[in-house]
């Protein structure tokens, strides 16, 4: 039987949604290089160098820093199932979709979960956790640093101090944060952290950078029960990523090339310059949207530079704008999730996608589509405001 299937020819998109982000051209080239074996000396050396670059990006000296061979959600699961044994108490901070997901993962691992909640778009303060810490006496406290569903940027350092004073370990979701804003694992005392490759690293989805400090590893190595997941068991992964290189699974070789190149790109730019670039493009976008009367959904002073969650203007058809952006301009942005469904647009300026050209392209297209729906604004105002912000930075 002869199969008739279309030729693979993906459309060209400008990915300005919550992820995946646009892939850096050097990363696309890297993923197509010759495949070697997962125990080949060349690949083992690449693993070592990738670990060095990941440690520098996480700003940590943690020996157990590596990439899980799966997407960011597997990073969440890997950290939770290794730290949690059935019956352990865990507090999870929920102010959006991904805090809620962490609750689900923890419950499936057998944790007794205490949920501490804030309204969507807001962040947590130490006062929000004091009572729960005293009552639940948790082994682990989980919190999302960059809540992709709301655009809220969670401060970590003060909460970390409070968590450690209570005797608990701190687990941080940095899926959207890593590579876009400073992540200070050692300085903030983060015990375990996970991320993903498809956001600010400008790499395809498929790997989940994680890091465990010595305290977390001591807890894992003293478990009374086996880790729930064989594939994500850090006690075995440590032997593969450590000096012994004991076979555990067949690593995704070419994705590892992609991550290696993505990390090189970030470090060549320099972390401080990378973070400043994300902030400047966020400020230009915010100025442009403000000129159109469009407001942010996240708490003022805690708005992520790489994930801009903004309120859909009154009377504007959310789905029609997103559909026209995609079909007519090749621009993808994200819709609202959960409590924000139909109320919010999520505009990503992540990694390679965080460029002035993308900000101005998006604002120009948005102005045209808003005008077609009869939304009233000063034409050209968003471009002028964004351009003025860029001019200030010169």
- Of 3.40.50.2000, 3.40.640.10, 2.60.120.890, 3.40.630.10, the CATH number of 25-267 is 3.40.640.10
- Total-model pTM: 0.97
pLDDT tens track for 367-392: 999 999 999 999 999 999 999 999 99
Task: Check pLDDT > 80 for residue 243.
Answer: no
So what's the pLDDT on residue 307? 98
Give me the pLDDT at residue 107, please.
98
In the predicted model, what is the mean pLDDT of residues 211-225?
A: 97
What would the pLDDT profile of 96-115 be if each residue is shown by its tens digit? 999 999 999 999 999 999 99
Kindly report the number of other CB atoms within 10 A of residue 67's CB atom. Answer: 26
Asked whether the predicted pLDDT for residue 1 surpasses 80, the reply is: no
For residue 127, is pLDDT > 80?
A: yes
Instruction: Find residue 309's DSSP bridge partners.
Output: 346
Task: Name the pLDDT band for 242 (thresholds 50, 70, 90).
Answer: confident
Q: How many Cβ atoms are within 10 Å of 307's Cβ, its own excluded? A: 30
Q: Residues of CATH 3.90.1150.10 domain(s) within the chain?
A: 270-392
- Report whether pLDDT(128) > 80: yes
The domain defined by 270-392 folds into 3.90.1150
Q: What is the Cα–Cα distance from 385 to 284, expressed in whole angstroms?
A: 7
Q: Report the C-alpha gap between 371 and 19 in whole angstroms.
A: 27
Taking residues 269-282, report their average pLDDT.
98
Whole-angstrom distance, CA of residue 163 vs CA of residue 367: 46
Handedness of CA 121, 126, 132, 133 (dihedral sign): positive
User: What is the structure's pLDDT at 258?
Assistant: 98
Would residue 330 be called left, alpha or beta, if left means φ above 0 and alpha means ψ between -120 and 50 degrees?
A: left
Q: Look at the alpha carbons of 38, 39, 40, 44 in this order and tell me if their dihedral is positive or negative.
A: positive
Whole-number Å distance between alpha carbons of 96 and 170: 18
Q: Rounded mean pLDDT of 54-64?
A: 98
Could you tell me where in the chain the CATH 3.40.640.10 domains are found? 25-267
């Amino acid at each position: 039987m002869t199969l008739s299937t279309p030729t693979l020819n993906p459309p060209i998109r400008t990915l300005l949604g919550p992820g995946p982000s646009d892939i850096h051209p050097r990363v696309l080239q890297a993923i197509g290089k010759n495949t070697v074996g997962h125990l080949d000396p060349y690949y083992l050396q690449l693993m070592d160098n990738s670990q060095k670059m990941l440690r520098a990006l996480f700003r940590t000296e943690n020996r157990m820093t590596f990439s899980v061979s799966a997407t960011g959600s597997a990073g969440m699961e890997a950290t939770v199932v290794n730290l949690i044994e059935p019956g352990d108490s865990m507090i999870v901070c929920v102010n959006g979709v991904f805090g809620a997901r962490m609750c689900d993962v923890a419950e499936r691992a057998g944790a007794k979960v205490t949920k501490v909640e804030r309204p969507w778009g807001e962040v947590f303060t130490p006062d929000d956790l004091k009572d729960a810490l005293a009552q639940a006496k948790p082994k682990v406290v989980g919190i999302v640093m960059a809540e992709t569903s709301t655009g809220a940027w969670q401060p970590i350092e003060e909460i970390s101090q409070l968590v450690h004073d209570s005797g608990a370990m701190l687990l941080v979701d940095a899926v959207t944060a890593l590579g876009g804003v400073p992540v200070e694992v050692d300085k903030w005392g983060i015990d375990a952290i996970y991320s993903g490759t498809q956001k600010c690293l400008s790499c395809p989805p498929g790997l989940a950078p994680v890091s465990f400090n010595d305290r977390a590893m001591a807890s894992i190595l003293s478990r009374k029960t086996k880790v729930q997941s064989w594939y994500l068991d850090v006690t075995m992964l440590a032997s593969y990523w450590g000096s012994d290189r004991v076979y555990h699974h067949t690593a995704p070789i070419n994705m590892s090339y992609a991550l290696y190149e993505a990390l090189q790109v970030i470090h060549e730019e320099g972390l401080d310059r990378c973070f400043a670039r994300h902030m400047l493009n966020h400020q230009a976008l915010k100025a442009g949207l403000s000129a159109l009367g469009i407001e942010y959904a996240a708490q003022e002073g805690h708005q992520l530079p790489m994930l801009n969650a903004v309120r859909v203007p009154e009377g504007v058809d959310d789905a029609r704008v997103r559909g026209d952006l995609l079909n007519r301009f090749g621009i993808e942005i994200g819709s609202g999730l959960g409590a924000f469904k139909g109320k919010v647009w999520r505009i990503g300026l992540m990694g390679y996608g965080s460029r002035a050209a993308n900000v101005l392209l998006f604002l120009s297209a948005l102005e045209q589509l808003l005008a077609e729906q009869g939304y009233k604004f000063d034409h050209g105002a968003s471009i002028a405001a964004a351009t003025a912000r860029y001019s200030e930075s010169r």
